[in-house]
Amino acid sequence: MTTLVRMPQLGESIVEGTVARWLKAPGDAIDKLEPLLEVSTDKIDTEIPSPSAGVLLDIVVPEGQTVATGTVLAHIGAAGQKVERPANVTAADPAAEAQKITASSHRLPRVNQQNRAADKPTGRDFISPIVAKIAREHAVELSQVAGSGMNGRVTKKDVLAYIDSLTKLGRSPTVEASNVSETDLQPLTAMRKAIAAHMVQSKATSPHVTTIFEVDMTAVVQHREAHKNGFASKGIALTFTPYFVAATVDALRQVPAANAQFQADGLLLHQRIHLGVAVALRDGLIVPVLRDADEKNLHGLARSISDLAQRARNGTLSANETQGGTFTVTNHGVSGSLIGTPIINQPQAGILGIGAIVKRPVVLSATASLLPSADDMIAIRPMCYLNFTFDHRILDGATADKFLSIIKQKLEKWSEQTNV
């Protein structure tokens, strides 16, 4: 009797996945729980173990294809066993599931799945970094190399053998590639394609407007200096990001429209605050979600943000942990950027960009008057620009400025009693 390998449901709001890569070929023996394939959902790749031991009899869904949860992907059985391949069966009706999830207020919009089939290059289209590097160094045209990998994939062994064969014939690979272009086409990764599609979709969906405030970070810097060693003793790295997140949560409480999403029949106000915190990776960006951020103090925020960021960089986040955000914060200042205009993470109302904290001379005055005064003085203060990009269908300029002014006030008046 054969065992069916089905597309797993990798998150409560995920109704489909893309077969990124098969780790076994038909005819290969496999042990139970041995990695069988990789499945991609948005920006998360997950290794799927084999449900049973035996031989991979066939592959029903090829690499690069997106199918609904429950779809039969392959069959495992005894060596030589014949498989009748009936019409693919799913564990549940994917159309009904998709409609139900789309109506949910907690689902982030997904990248157009019609464009996802080619997310991961496969066969001869897939070129590993080491193969690309060798080919570039030796000016080898990979279309001339016979591939011995799965579906004709060119491996390191293939390209080295090709170079060796030309050398033995007294011909230089460089000469063979007389028409080598001066440009180098780098294939898009699945993550880069997902980011590109999502950004284009966001700009096409909502009218983006950005407002910028300047914040004096003296109180926060003083608080962090006084408490970072205490946090470190508990295994928590106290960065500036938790302060910005705490201030954002306070503003979301006071301006509920900033924690909403636009629908044709009205604004859908989220009653819970699930904050996405953007994390830069080597080859892209991912936004893990800090759930119920309003229920955490500074200690809880710092610990949770550090954990999510570390697992994002290690590639160990689950697909669920990037879903369901109601607002997003991106700290682009960590790389030195002063001002940015981030793109909204649809269908959210806005995204807060945080610029670098730098020392600048500022004028301090005892009065609110803009006229020069003998009491005015110039001081060196740690300053920061906050950039709030918002959906103008949901928020007007005055409301957006109110939202940002709450964050500014919270940060500038941070005290020992504030959300420690």
As a whole number of angstroms, the distance between CA 191 and CA 197 comes to 10
pLDDT score of 182: 67
pLDDT score of 328: 97
Domain residue ranges of the chain, discontinuous segments joined by +: 3-111, 123-176, 208-412
Domain 208-412 bears CATH identifier 3.30.559.10 = yes
Token duo for residue 262: 């636009």
Region of 64 please: left (phi>0), alpha (psi -120 to 50) or beta.
left
pLDDT score of 156: 77
Q: pTM for this structure?
A: 0.67
Residue stretches of the chain with pLDDT short of 50: 88-119, 175-178, 180
pLDDT score of 302: 96
pLDDT score of 118: 46
CATH T-level fold of 3-111? OB fold (Dihydrolipoamide Acetyltransferase, E2P) (2.40.50)
* pLDDT tens sequence across 310-355: 999 988 888 889 999 999 999 999 999 999 999 999 999 999 999 9
As a whole number of angstroms, the distance between CA 410 and CA 213 comes to 13
Catalytic residues: 392, 396
For the domain spanning 123-176, the CATH number is: 4.10.320.10
* pLDDT tens sequence across 49-78: 999 999 999 999 998 888 888 999 999 998
Q: Which amino acid is at 119?
A: D
Nearest one of 301, 395, 181 to 309, comparing CA atoms: 301
pLDDT score of 348: 96
pLDDT score of 89: 46
- For the chain, the first-to-last Cα distance in angstroms comes to 60
- Write phi, then psi, for 212 (nearest 5 degrees): -125, 130
